[in-house]
Amino acid sequence: MRKVSIKGTGSCVPERVVPNSFFERIVDTSDEWITTRTGIKERRMVFPGQALTDLAVPAAQRAMEMAGVSSLEIDLIVVGTSTPDMVTPSAACILQDRLGARNAFAFDIGAACPGFLYSLAVAQKFIQDGSHEYALVVGGEIISNRIDYTDRSTCVLFGDGAGAVILGARNGDGEGEVLSTHLHSDGSLWNLLNVPGGGSRNPPSHEMVDRGLHYIKMQGNEVFKYAVRAMVESALEALEANKVTSEDIDWFIPHQANLRIMETVAKRLDIPLHKVISTVHKYGNTSAASIPTALDEAIRSGKIRRGDLILVGSFGAGFTWGASLFRY
């Protein structure tokens, strides 16, 4: 089996910055509450009319440019998202069209926040087995229009964004390697975090909108507990599978849901906070976009360098969770 490496990364967040003070004006909350409970100071949100691929296209183009790979060389596109441009076709097919990636086949993966990790793992297999050469893997979300702006316990948490990586066979030229990805789900917990409307159970209707079923529903406390345990367990699984310890890790990129979750997980893994990459203060929880955008920014700022050992971990609705270990 071929070894797989990350050839390039890219990301894109909307221009519109929404600070905590925005929510102080519409619900009973404060900058102080949001900052101390979540670490979030501001987030990015799209303007009305903007869709996922409006962010995914620039993110993908930046990743292709860094990788030196053209759109015609890409033969696989996988997009991890819960918020595609439309119900059907997939965001991946719309992205394929907009990039002119005519030689690819394309599909979405719905795994909520770990959608990027799930997509990475699937794409890796196609490169490993030699059937495909270059995969574009995107994690992206437009979550700002799934938020109930009267529910203070969820509306302050989320933001929009998209991140992308190009995967290809490792050429041994100073490149790293995607070592392993460990994925899990527990469908018995679906009720703790969901968007009940818009699917076949509660199809789009005036009644669905009147009842607010198209908005995110979350039992934050319960999610918090499971998230910490799940992220720690899958991270340990990734370390063990590769016979390394947390001391060997150069950087840990946890899902950027909440600074308290990120710090608790890092502490339980014995990873010092200076090795934890965090963007949650400026982007909030961008779901499937959180890991690839944080990865791209850390690479472009020079924090992450070729040869560094990176641990990433995520969890989200489903429940779904997982961890991946790679050398950049």
The amino acid sitting at 77 is I
- Is residue 184 a contact point for ligand ACO (CB under 6 A)? no
- Is residue 221 a contact point for ligand ACO (CB under 6 A)? yes
Helices marked H in 200-306 — which ranges? 206-210, 220-241, 259-268, 280-283, 290-300
The one segment of 31-39, 60-68, 162-170, 244-252 that binds ligand ACO by CB under 6 A: 31-39
* Residue the block writes with tokens 């016979």: 243
| Cis-peptide, bond into residue 319, ω within 30° of zero | yes
Given candidates 224, 233, 242, 309, which one binds ligand ACO under the rule CB under 6 A? 224
Judged by DSSP in three states, 76 sits in strand
Q: Which of 10, 254 has the CB closer to ligand ACO? A: 254
The active-site residue, picked from 12, 20, 93, 113, is 113
Beta carbons within 10 angstroms of residue 234's beta carbon: 23
How far apart are alpha carbons 322 and 292 in whole angstroms?
Answer: 14
- Is residue 194 a contact point for ligand ACO (CB under 6 A)? no
Collect all residues with Cβ–Cβ distance below 8 Å to 309 and sequence separation of at least 6.
Answer: 244, 248, 249, 250, 251, 325, 326, 327
Least distance CB 245 / ligand ACO (angstroms): 27
Q: Which of 117, 227 has the CB closer to ligand ACO? A: 227
Least distance CB 171 / ligand ACO (angstroms): 35
Q: Which of 6, 113 has the CB closer to ligand ACO? A: 113
The active-site residue, picked from 93, 155, 182, 255, is 255
Q: Which of 113, 239 has the CB closer to ligand ACO? A: 113
Q: Which of 73, 72, 90 is nearest to 81 (CA)?
A: 90
Could you tell me how many helices (H) and strands (E) the chain has, helices first? Answer: 11, 13
Residue 274 a catalytic site member: no
Residue 285 a catalytic site member: yes
For residues 73 and 188, the answer to whether their CB atoms sit within 8 Å is no
The amino acid sitting at 273 is L
The one segment of 167-175, 180-188, 257-265, 303-311 that binds ligand ACO by CB under 6 A: 257-265
The 3-state secondary structure of 120-136, one letter per residue: HHHHHHHHHCCCCCEEE
Count of residues that bind ligand ACO according to CB under 6 A: 24
Q: Which of 125, 217 has the CB closer to ligand ACO? A: 217
Q: Which of 186, 248 has the CB closer to ligand ACO? A: 186
Please classify residue 46 by burial: count the beta carbons closer than 10 Å to its beta carbon, then call 0-12 exposed, 13-18 middle and 19+ buried.
buried
Sheet with 251-254: strands ordered across: 177-185, 320-327, 309-316, 251-254
- Is residue 286 a contact point for ligand ACO (CB under 6 A)? no
Query: Scanning residues 47 to 106, which ones bind ligand ACO (CB under 6 A)?
Result: none
Residue 194 a catalytic site member: no
- Is residue 152 a contact point for ligand ACO (CB under 6 A)? yes
* Residue the block writes with tokens 């690479």: 299
Given candidates 164, 238, 276, 317, which one binds ligand ACO under the rule CB under 6 A? 317
Phi, psi of 303 (to 5 degrees): -65, -55
The one segment of 94-102, 220-228, 243-251, 295-303 that binds ligand ACO by CB under 6 A: 220-228
Active site residues: 113, 255, 285
The residues binding ligand ACO (CB under 6 A) are 29, 33-34, 37-38, 112-113, 152-153, 156, 193, 218, 220-221, 223-224, 227, 257-258, 261, 285, 287, 316-317
